[in-house]
């Protein structure tokens, strides 16, 4: 499957691509941080050695003007050679303009400007399309609010020597969440339990967005068929990658509270995401729908 084969179905993901930059990083020697169960079908991607991959770090933003600049500075400490892509949905607080100003000083920062709030899922899909179109080897996604602390990047990237997707995992041994209310913890755990049950994926944390993807594997995962537009995108994309044999690994992280601004999760989005996961899970589990096609 070529990069362009994803382009047509994803054209609704408006953006203004910048020019590709080298963005090469040195991966540490092979040694996965966590076990992973072999996936059903081996991909060419899982076998491909990556010695000096081109890394793109992607940040979806909606009203993150107080977080994005210090976050990029912090990321630089742990992944100095990476390029950075911000996908901004015309944030009313001016996040997009702020990132344009950062880009004027640092051309390794790229921005996709979309016309309005189109959802975290489609923002991440647009980032994946960008990584494919610009020939990156690895795409590392992070929230733009410091909930995904950059200090965990080296361990996640190290795992990419032997996996197609490395998840910065709250629920792997050593991982956790900072001061989450019990209700949020229960809902998150329950969603992950459902996902493990229905999708048979060998991982603890299927709902976090702190993940590194092998771009060659993303090209094979039929992401143009993704139904989720919001937060259930995280589970669906993992499921679709699992179906094409992606090798999944987890590296523990502590999920911290956002530093500034407000969460964009609301009840409607939470309910819609859980409904999408249940729909995909039940139809897959009972063979109503073949998501390999």
Q: Is 265 in the site for ligand GDP (CB under 6 A)?
A: yes
Number of helices followed by number of strands (H, E) in the chain: 10, 9
Binds ligand GDP by CB under 6 A, chosen from 76, 103, 189, 264: 264
Q: How far is residue 194's CA from residue 200's CA, in Å, rounded to a whole number?
A: 10
Q: How far is residue 86's CA from residue 50's CA, in Å, rounded to a whole number?
A: 25
Q: How far is the CB of 209 from ligand GDP (least distance, A)?
A: 7
Contacting range for ligand GDP; rule: CB under 6 A; set: 13-21, 75-83, 117-125, 216-224: 117-125
**Segment 145 to 204, residues that bind Mg ion, using CB under 5 A:** 145, 147
Q: Which is nearer to ligand GDP, 32 or 176 (CB)?
A: 176
Q: How far is residue 230's CA from residue 253's CA, in Å, rounded to a whole number?
A: 23
Q: How far is the CB of 44 from ligand GDP (least distance, A)?
A: 31
Residue 4 contacts by C-beta under 8 Å, 6 or more apart in sequence?
A: none
Q: How far is residue 252's CA from residue 262's CA, in Å, rounded to a whole number?
A: 25
Q: Is 123 in the site for ligand GDP (CB under 6 A)?
A: yes
Q: How far is residue 109's CA from residue 103's CA, in Å, rounded to a whole number?
A: 5
Binds ligand GDP by CB under 6 A, chosen from 39, 53, 64, 192: 64
Q: Taking a C-beta distance cutoff of 8 angstroms, is the pair 206, 168 a contact?
A: no
Q: How far is the CB of 231 from ligand GDP (least distance, A)?
A: 7
Q: Is 53 in the site for ligand GDP (CB under 6 A)?
A: no
Q: Is 87 in the site for ligand GDP (CB under 6 A)?
A: yes
Return residues touching Mg ion (CB under 5 A).
Answer: 143, 145, 147, 258
């Amino acid at each position: 499957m070529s990069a362009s084969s994803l382009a047509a179905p994803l054209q609704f993901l408006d953006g203004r691509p910048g020019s590709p930059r080298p963005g090469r990083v040195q991966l540490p020697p092979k040694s996965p941080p966590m076990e992973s169960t072999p996936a059903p079908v081996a991909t060419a991607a899982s076998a491909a050695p990556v010695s000096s991959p081109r890394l793109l770090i992607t940040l979806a933003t909606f009203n993150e003007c107080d977080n994005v600049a210090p976050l990029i500075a912090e990321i630089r400490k742990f992944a100095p050679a990476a390029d950075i892509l911000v996908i901004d949905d015309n944030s009313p607080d001016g996040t997009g303009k702020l990132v344009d100003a950062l880009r004027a000083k640092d051309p390794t920062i790229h921005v996709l400007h979309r016309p309005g709030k189109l959802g975290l899922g489609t923002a991440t899909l647009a980032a994946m399309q960008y990584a494919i179109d610009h020939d990156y080897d690895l795409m590392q996604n992070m929230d733009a609010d410091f909930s995904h602390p950059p200090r965990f990047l080296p361990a996640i990237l190290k795992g990419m020597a032997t996996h197609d997707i490395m998840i910065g995992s709250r629920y792997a041994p050593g991982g956790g969440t900072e001061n989450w209310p019990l209700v949020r913890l229960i809902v998150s755990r329950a969603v992950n339990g459902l996902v493990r049950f229905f999708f048979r994926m060998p991982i603890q944390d299927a709902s976090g967005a702190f993940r590194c993807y092998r771009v060659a594997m993303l090209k094979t995962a039929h992401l143009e068929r993704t139904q989720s537009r919001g937060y259930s995108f995280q589970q669906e994309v993992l499921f679709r990658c699992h179906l094409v044999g992606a090798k999944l690994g987890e590296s523990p992280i502590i999920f911290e509270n956002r530093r500034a601004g407000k969460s964009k999760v609301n009840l409607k989005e939470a309910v819609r995401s859980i409904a999408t996961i249940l729909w995909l899970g039940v139809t897959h589990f009972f063979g109503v729908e073949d998501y390999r096609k």
